[in-house]
Amino acid sequence: MKTDLILRSTLAALTVALLGAAALGQEWQWDDRPGQSLALKRGETVVWQLLYGPNQPKPHFHPVGLPDGRVLTWDRPPDHDWHHGLWFAWKYLNGLNYWEPADRKTGRFEGVTRWANVKTATHPDGSARIEMDLSYSPATAPADAPPVLVEKRTVAASAPDQQGQYHFDWTSTFTAGAKDVELSRTPIDGQPGGVPWGGYAGLSIRLAKELTDRAADSTEGPVQFEGARHRSKAPALDFHGLIGGKPLGMAACDHPGNLNHPTPWYVIRGEPMSYFSPAVIYYGPYTLKAGQSFRLRYRIIVHPGRWDAEKLKQEYQRFVEESGRS
């Protein structure tokens, strides 16, 4: 009888474990389309998706949202159809524009971004790792010409927690080719040729048109807008608002080892634009010497609720502790 009781207990425990594993498998599913896209889903809801097919102008994440179905990003908005949800783009490399097409009708760029060797590793808990090699070349360069700049990019996506919060740890290492590369942007007010909308380049987030009651906080406190724009330096910034009457937001953390840390932020709260970026070369160009490298690391956090400066400081410190300071 004792043996029978032990057997029944063992079978019951095994059943619970199997049911738990089945429930976990039902919670998160992967839609992996090699050479095109990778998406984390819960049921029919896409939580986040990476688009990297050959028809894309740049690899980017869209939609990026919460497991409850609310989407925080906007891809190809009609006012700037070269904005792509969560994406990375340099503005000028050696004077050529890699950000937006020179010819809006044909979509032709002066500088071309290419990518290859995309590797994805997914896990049942909803976490993933993405690696890819990118190169940057003038559109007029011969096909066999070496690029002016190469990049090794890794994005590690965490598993969503019980509240639906998750993050992307984004690491990009850039190496110049045989010649120096000047990384630049549209000049800002007060500089020769400067304009009020200058300064943008690098990691960027274009937020959904459905986002209302919009505000932003940095680790320094609530963001104050001058008209539609805000510029300041801080280790991290959170842009938040309401979708479907419920609060949510996205935060970005600038690693202390990054160029120009704490980063200059470029934030727009316009109509209809909600946009923010750790604009690493906002205040001036940066020249990367031939054969030399530098690295940028960020954590992008998707979360329910609104975050203030104190909450942001806590999350920023967590990022630094988990990634290391160097």
* Structure confidence by residue, pLDDT tens digits, 197-219: 999 999 999 999 999 999 999 99
Confidence of residue 151 (pLDDT cuts 50, 70, 90): very high
User: Which residues are paired to 32 by β-bridges?
Assistant: 38
Instruction: Answer whether residue 15 shows pLDDT above 60.
Output: no
Sign of CA dihedral 146, 132, 172, 138: positive
Q: What is the mean pLDDT of the chain?
A: 92
Specify whether the CB–CB gap between 98 and 111 falls below 8 A: yes
- Return the structure tokens found at 19: 């049911």
User: Which residues are paired to 191 by β-bridges?
Assistant: none
Q: What is the pLDDT of residues 222-254, one digit of tens each?
A: 999 999 999 999 999 999 999 999 999 999 999
Q: What is the pLDDT of residues 131-146, one digit of tens each?
A: 999 999 999 999 899 9
- The structural domains of the chain, ordered by start, are 29-323 (2.70.98)
Confidence of residue 23 (pLDDT cuts 50, 70, 90): very low
Phi (first) and psi of residue 241, to 5 degrees = 180, -155
Residues written for the chain? 326
Q: Is the pTM of this model over 0.95?
A: no
User: Which residues are paired to 108 by β-bridges?
Assistant: 103
Nearest-angstrom CA–CA distance, 75 and 65: 13
